[in-house]
A and B are shown apart, each in its own frame.
Chain A
Amino acid sequence: MLQRESSFAKEALRYGLIVLVLGFIVFPIAWMIITSFKPADAVMVSPPRFLFTPTLENYTHAIYDKNFLFYIKNTLFISVASTVIVVVTGSLAAYSFARYNVGDGHLLFFILSTKMFPAIAVILPYFLIFRDVGKTGIGRFFGIGLDQPGALIISYTVFNLPFAIWLLVSFFQDIPRELEHSARLDGLSRLKVLAKVVCPLAAPGIAVTGVFTLIFSWNEFLFAYILTRKAASTVTVGVESFFTLQGILWGPVAAAATISVLPMLVFVLAMQRYMVRGLTFGAVRG
């Protein structure tokens, strides 16, 4: 009896602490979403107001006056394009690493070490190179130059590829080799085995990798901030455009931030099962 009481107290304490932790974690995001629905006279007030009539005026301001959908469109195009390149080239390479062990592991580690590069180290040369390439005919044709989408597509591809390859290798390793052996014995070529047998089996892993790449590209700030001004700016930079001479318009900022964060929240919740695996480059299978 006594023991049950003490274990009940222990459970109560445990859940109390968990609620506290979750409160701290969820609260800033919740407050951001709440603020996005506040009328202007309830945002910049002290003390903060918790009760108010919700309004969409911050959203209309963000979308119509600040043209925020333009940044969404840019971001979508750039992230999707880069994700497609990463997933295709990454899958081919990862399959080769997982099955044929190309380069005896050294190559795979070389690729990982590029992931450790501080992005800022390549940004200066990128800035100089894209500035010059953007002025040439080829640069203009492919949109590779400062403030052009091609520059960001290239940047995101390079920076996500190592991560994607590592994660994909872990997924390819999970596929039993026997199926490929028997397909080979049936006379399928190596390429056909890859296309018809391996790819369907690896599809979930490839999709997970793609979503991760998409999230990272969507949320990227440093490259977007330095390599774009206006025409090719993405959401993370777009939110900064709400700084005005009169100060920061927190209501519209909250609305824009909510618009840009929401799709990623949905993605991440859908992918929970794979979060740990993705965040550790496939090392911890979760």
Chain B
Amino acid sequence: MSQSLSVPASRERGVASPTAMSDRWFSILLVVPAMLVILVFALLPLAYALDVSFRFADLTRGQIGDFVGLDNYRAVLHDRAFWSSVWVTLKFTLTAVTLEMVLGIAIAFLIHGATAGKGIIRSLMILPLATSAAVTGLFWRYLYDTQFGLINYFLGLVGLPEPNWLGDYTIALWSVILFDVWQWTPFVALIALAGLQALPKEPFEAAELDGASTFRVLRTLTFPMLKPVLFLVLVLRTIDSVRLYDAVAVLTRGGPGTVTETMTFYLYRTGLKLFRMDYASTMAIFFLYAMLVASLFALRPLLTQFSSRASEG
């Protein structure tokens, strides 16, 4: 046939018959590199940790040793220090996340009602999120210092007691919480603010015409409509708080005693200070399991909801 015909013909093949098969292969090829990275470097190490959790592995006495069945699991479940670290983690998470949510939402309302200067307010709010907890946390030690610290200086000026922020058994955990609240309340506030600003105007105008009270508008309109966003923030903050490490490492190193020793920090100490890789791996498996179950139940429905809404919109 003539050449002029063969060109459109080959074009047509590419267009009219993008066969289901080749679409499929193309799409699979695209995810292969990312999946390889995740499978090799995230799942293999976990399989390795799982293996170690069934063995004797005291690195001070040589290499990874023999299979010991469920011994490590039994040992961890009977380890008082482990349960105490779980308790510290729960206390920290519950307090820090509650404070951050309440303050963050309040601040979001405060800024939402402001008439001018929102841009600069938002820019300043973002700053703590740009900094590493390891670096600014370290500097907070200087702020908390009993001799040279600015916090106690100000407290002294107004005649309040000057606590030993990081050295006192009853206060140390609160000091870590205060630092976390400083860093993450702006995160909650920013996202809640974005949620507030995305609310549709009409229902609120209608409510105003009906003469509904502010409280009623909040209870029946604002909060129900904000709920998905707020719940997402809550889940993200909770997941991060449970994994807390950086702030503890630079502020208190788990002390005084073990009052600020979170699960992550205890795990680190067991595995890389005491070199009991077996116990540490077992704890890691427990920890991982808890996180996966929690995120499966909390995060998955939430993000499905958001992403399906986004693809509709």
Contacts and interface: CB of A to CB of B under 8 A. Distances in A.
Interface of A: 11, 14-15, 17-18, 21-22, 24-26, 28-29, 31-32, 35, 43-48, 85, 88-90, 92-93, 95-97, 99-100, 102-103, 105, 107, 109, 111-114, 116-129, 154-155, 157-158, 161-162, 165-166, 169-170, 173, 184-185, 187, 189-191, 215, 218-222, 225-226, 235-237, 239-240, 248, 250, 253-254, 257, 260-261, 264-265, 267-269, 272, 275-276, 279-286
A256 B288 CA distance: 35
B148 A43 contact: yes
A221 B131 CA distance: 12
Interface in B16-71: 18, 23-24, 26-28, 30-31, 33-35, 37-38, 41-43, 45-46, 48-49, 52, 64
Q: Which of A95, A125, A254, A261 is packed against the most chain B CB atoms within 10 Å?
A: A125
A93 B34 contact: yes
Given A28-B140, A116-B292, A117-B42, A187 B11 contact: yes
Given A162-B38, A239-B135, 4 more contacts: A32-B139, A118-B287, A121-B49, A187-B14
B208 to A, nearest CB: 16
Q: Which of A85, A114, A237 is packed against the most chain B CB atoms within 10 Å?
A: A114
Contacts of A284: 191, 194-195, 198, 229, 232, 306
A19 to B, nearest CB: 10
Which 6 pairs, one residue from A and one from B, show the smallest C-beta to C-beta distance?
Answer: A100-B27, A219-B132, A221-B134, A96-B30, A125-B45, A268-B130
Contacts of A96: 26-28, 30-31
B139 A158 contact: no
A135 B187 CA distance: 43
B168 to A, nearest CB: 19
Given A114-B38, A261-B131, A124 B15 contact: no
Q: Which of A17, A21, A99 is packed against the most chain B CB atoms within 10 Å?
A: A21
B246 A221 contact: yes
A275 B127 contact: no
Contact of A32 (B136, B185, B249): B136
Contacts of A275: 126, 129, 190
B46 A121 contact: yes
Contacts of A25: 124-125, 127-128, 182, 185-186
Q: Which of A93, A119, A127, A264 is packed against the most chain B CB atoms within 10 Å?
A: A93
B244 to A, nearest CB: 10
Contacts of A26: 124, 127
B221 interface: no
Contacts of A93: 30-31, 33-35
B120 to A, nearest CB: 9
Interface in B146-176: 147-150, 153
Interface stretch (B94-102, B211-219, B263-271): B263-271
Given A120-B267, A121-B284, A161 B52 contact: no
A118 B288 contact: yes
- The binding surface of chain B is classed by DSSP as helix
A162 B39 CA distance: 12
A26 B121 CA distance: 11
Contacts of A226: 268, 272
A44 B249 CA distance: 23
A128 B191 CA distance: 39
A107 B113 CA distance: 41
Given A100-B27, A118-B291, A154-B41, A261 B182 contact: no
Contacts of B186: 25
A43 B133 CA distance: 22
Interface in B259-313: 264, 267-268, 271-272, 277, 280-281, 284-285, 287-288, 291-292, 294-296, 299-300, 302-304, 306-307, 310-311
Contact of B37 (A89, A97, A239): A89
Contact of B242 (A17, A118, A122, A125): A118
A107 B31 CA distance: 10
A117 B163 CA distance: 36
Contacts of B227: none
A184 B41 contact: no
Contacts of B129: 268, 275, 279
A276 to B, nearest CB: 4
8 contacts: A35-B139, A48-B149, A89-B34, A112-B300, A118-B242, A184-B15, A254-B142, A275-B126
B3 interface: no
B90 interface: no
Contacts of A165: 34
Contact of A236 (B35, B135, B139, B194): B135
A253 B250 CA distance: 13
Given A100-B27, A173-B311, A116 B133 contact: no
B34 A92 contact: yes
Q: Which of A189, A222, A226 is packed against the most chain B CB atoms within 10 Å?
A: A222
Q: Which of B110, B132, B229 is packed against the most chain A CB atoms within 10 Å?
A: B132
Q: Which of B34, B128, B132 is packed against the most chain A CB atoms within 10 Å?
A: B34
